Amino acid sequence: MTQKRIVIADDDPTMRSALGEALSNAGHDPAVFPDGEEAERHLKQFGADLVISDVRMPGLGGLELLKQFPNIPFIMISGFATVPEAVEAMKVGAYDFVVKPFSYRELIPLVEAGLSRGGANEPEEKPDGTFVTAHPRMQALLEFTRQVAKSHASILVQGESGTGKDLLARYLHTHSRRNAGPFVAVNCAALPEGLLESELFGHERGAFTGAIGARPGKFELADGGTLLLDEISEMPAALQAKLLRVLQEREVDRLGGKKPLPIDIRVISTTNRDLRGLIRAGTFREDLFYRINVVPLRLFPLRERVDDIEPLARSFFATRGYPQATLTPGALTRLESYSWRGNVRELFNVLERAAIIAQGGAVAAEHLLLEDEIGQGCGSEAAAAGPDLRMAPGAAAPVFVREVPPTAGAGRSVREMEEHLIFNTLKQVHDNRTRAAKLLGISVRTLRNKLKQYREKEFAGAA
C-alpha cells in the first residue's frame, strides 16, 4: 500500500493523537494540527491526499476549511452532530461524515475508500447550463425545454450515449425556479445495488457493516433543487419500487432510519435505452415509467444535426485550451460525413486528438483520427514523424529529448505515426496515462502494452 499524506485537524488532543497513531499503524503519513488555521497553512504549502477534520473548532472550523480545499477528500467528524450539519457538509463536498465516538478499525476502511475515490483529485468538469447548437430542431427543443423548466413536473430525457443528456438536465435546472438550489447527479449504472441504495436514500449509523456514521443520501442533498437520475434504466427492480414510493410520497427513508424525511425536489431521469421495451421484457416498472415520464424530451444524434459540428468545434477549442485552433474546410467536410456513433462525446475526443497533432493551430483533414481507424493505427494520413526518445531499462515512461514538427508525407509508416501520436498525447497530458488513453480512444491496458513494445524495440535497436 502506498503511503498517503493525511492531515488531521481536531482541537481534542486525545482524539488527534489517537487518529495519528491509528493512521501511522495503517501505513500512512499523518500530520496533526490543533485547529483549522494551522491545518490551512500546512495544506496551502504541502497539500494532502485526504483530510480528517472536526466540524467545530475554535477559529476556523471544519466546514470553512473544506470550502477552501474542495479538491481534497474530506472526512468530517463531530461529537455534536445534527442532521442539517451533516447535510451541509455533504453538500459542500465532504466525502463522509462520522459521529464521535467511533471505532478506529471501522474508520480505516472509510479512509481507504476516500483515498481511492478522491485521491489526487482533479476538479470535476461541470456543465454550466449552456447548450451549443445551430440546428433548427435542436433550437426548438431548447425553447420547449425552457418552457417546461418552470414547472415542477418530472422529466425524462432520452437519447443515444454521448448526445448530452446530462448537459440538457443541467440546462433544465439552470432555467428552472430551483436554480438557486443544488443540482445533484447520480449514475444508476455506475454503482452496485447495495451501494446505490445507500447513495440515493442515505443511511443511519449501524445500518450495515461499515456504516460508522449517519450519511444523507442524494435525495436529501438535492432538497430544494434538482436530482438527476442518470441511466435510470439500469436501476435494479427492488430499488425501482422504493424510488416509486419516494416520488409519490415526497419523503425518503434512510437505511436504518426510524421515520421518513420530507423532501422538496425536481427529478430528471435520463436513459439511452427503450424503456417501453424494458417494460415489455419485465425489467422496468410501468408505474415508475409513467411517474418519471410526465414530460418527455428526446435529444437528436449528431449525425442528424451535422450543422452543429462547426459551432461545437469552435466552442470546444475555445474552452479546452486551444484558442488558436480552427477547422479547415477539408476537415469540416470530413467530420460532417462521418457516422458519429459516439455522438458529441466522440466528436470532442476526435477534436482534442486533432488539436494535439496540429499543435493547436489549423486542423486539417489529415490531422483527424476517427474512431473507426484507430484499430488500423493512425488513420489514412497521419500528422507527424516519430519523436526522438531515450528510455532507460525499467523506466515507467519515455523521456523526450527534442520536438519534431508535424510533417505528413510518404515514407512514414502507420506504426511510426501511431507511436508519435501516443507519445505526443502523453506529453500533452503530463504523462497521465488514464487521460491519454481516453483521448486516444483505447484502454489503459492497450496503452501500457504499446509503451512496452516501444521500449523493447528501442532496446533491441541499441543492442
List per-residue pLDDT tens for the chain, 463 residues long: 557 889 999 988 888 888 888 888 888 889 999 999 999 988 888 888 899 999 888 888 888 898 888 778 898 888 765 666 666 777 777 877 777 777 777 678 778 877 765 443 333 334 455 788 889 999 999 999 999 998 889 999 999 999 999 999 999 999 998 988 899 998 888 777 777 888 888 877 766 666 666 778 889 888 899 999 999 999 998 899 999 999 988 998 888 777 888 999 999 999 999 999 999 999 999 999 999 999 999 999 999 999 999 999 999 998 888 888 999 999 999 999 999 999 999 999 999 989 988 888 899 998 998 876 654 443 333 333 333 333 333 333 333 322 333 444 444 566 677 787 888 888 777 777 877 887 887 877 788 878 878 776 665 555 4
Indicate the Cα dihedral angle 302, 306, 312, 313, nearest 10°: 120
Q: What's the rounded Cα separation, in Å, for the pair 355 and 326?
A: 9
pLDDT score for 372:
67
> Of the candidates 134, 141, 133, which has an alpha carbon nearest to the alpha carbon of residue 172?
141
For residues 96 and 76, the answer to whether their CB atoms sit within 8 Å is: yes
* Residue spans in the chain of domains classed CATH 3.40.50.300: 136-300
* Residue spans in the chain of domains classed CATH 3.40.50.2300: 5-118
* Beta bridge partners of residue 251, listed in sequence order: 262
For 28, 31, 59, 162, the CA distances from 34, given in Å and listed in that order, are 19, 10, 11, 48
Q: What's the rounded Cα separation, in Å, for the pair 386 and 421?
A: 8
Q: What's the rounded Cα separation, in Å, for the pair 230 and 168?
A: 12
Residue 129: left (phi > 0), alpha (psi -120 to 50), or beta? left
Residue holding cell 521500449?
Answer: 455
pLDDT score for 258:
79
Cell output for 336: 460532417
Q: What's the rounded Cα separation, in Å, for the pair 17 and 12?
A: 9
Q: What's the rounded Cα separation, in Å, for the pair 38 and 160?
A: 50
* Beta bridge partners of residue 447, listed in sequence order: none
Residue holding cell 439511452?
Answer: 272
Cell output for 403: 520536438
For 117, 125, 145, 273, 289, the CA distances from 296, given in Å and listed in that order, are 34, 26, 10, 14, 11
- Fold observed for domain 136-300: Rossmann fold (3.40.50)
pLDDT score for 81:
57
Domain at 5-118: CATH code: 3.40.50.2300
Q: Are strands 183-187 and 155-158 parallel, antiparallel or unpaired?
A: unpaired
- Fold observed for domain 304-462: Helicase, Ruva Protein; domain 3 (1.10.8)
pLDDT score for 460:
57
pLDDT score for 304:
93
